[in-house]
């Protein structure tokens, strides 16, 4: 009998994350947890933060209809919102649905690209699928999750003639992330890693979790 493969289905807000987020999830599963047996399905893109916030329940329903779905990871940029408060609010909405599939909500503080700053040493000077990437001398000092306009910062530090383009650059930059560096410098990246750990444990032990787990109103 063919053994089914458990899958995590991501729900993302932007088009750039469609390719990048599976790369990142697989990287964490493989390098941090030694897991090669969990499939990462093609993400469900909301094509905008506002749409995802309005229609979270719809996108969760779409995700759980995917074959072999055993867990859903919702990744959204906090922007100017408090990442912690936003994640608890969305998790509360997910919990009220009473789904039979585990769900993790992760809010990147400010934006996904802040995680590149958290691992800048492993990313700068590297080619991006044959295209020039960040300058060898790119440097950032200070808390990576306090910078606004990270996409613009990346454009300013690309090699001459290049601008950062989310849809083509996000995935190859993600491949170069050093997990240890990113965890050390980014609280929301640590949250992502912990959320995946929670999902994997639930999948392995056969229970359902919706995380973060806050106090219900």
> Can you give the pLDDT at residue 147?
95
Q: Is residue 1 part of a domain?
A: no
- On whether residue 217 sits in a domain, the answer given is no
- Residue 216 resides in a domain: no
User: Total domain count for the chain?
Assistant: 1
The confidence score (pLDDT) of residue 3 equals: 46
- In the chain, alpha helices (H): 16-31, 49-54, 56-64, 83-96, 114-117, 120-123, 150-156, 166-175, 179-185, 187-205
What is the reported pTM? 0.94
Spans in the chain with pLDDT lower than 70: 1-4, 214-217
- Give the pLDDT score at 4: 56
| 204 lies in some domain | yes
Domain with 207, as residue range(s), is 7-211
**What pLDDT sits at residue 67?**
84
In a domain, 2, yes or no: no
* Structural domain includes residue 134: yes
Residue 202 lies in a domain: yes
């Amino acid at each position: 009998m063919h053994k089914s493969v458990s899958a995590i289905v991501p729900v993302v807000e932007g088009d750039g994350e469609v390719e990048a987020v599976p790369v990142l999830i697989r990287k964490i599963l493989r390098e941090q947890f030694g897991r090669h047996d969990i499939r990462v399905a093609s993400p469900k893109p909301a094509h905008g933060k506002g749409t995802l916030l309005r229609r979270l329940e719809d996108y969760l329903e779409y995700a759980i209809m995917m074959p072999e779905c055993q867990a859903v990871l919702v990744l959204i940029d906090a922007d100017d919102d408090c990442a912690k408060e936003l994640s608890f609010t969305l998790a509360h909405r997910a919990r009220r649905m009473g789904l039979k599939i585990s769900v993790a909500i992760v809010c990147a503080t400010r934006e996904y690209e802040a995680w590149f700053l958290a691992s800048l040493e492993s990313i700068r000077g590297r080619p991006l699928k044959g295209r020039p990437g960040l300058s060898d001398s790119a440097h950032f000092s200070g808390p990576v999750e306090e910078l606004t306009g990270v996409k613009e910062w990346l454009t300013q530090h690309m090699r001459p003639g290049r601008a950062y383009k989310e849809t083509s650059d996000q995935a190859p930059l993600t491949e170069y992330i050093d997990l240890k560096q990113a965890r050390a410098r980014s609280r929301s990246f640590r949250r992502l890693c912990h959320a995946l750990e929670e999902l994997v444990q639930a999948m392995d032990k056969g229970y359902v979790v919706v995380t973060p787990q806050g106090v219900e109103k």
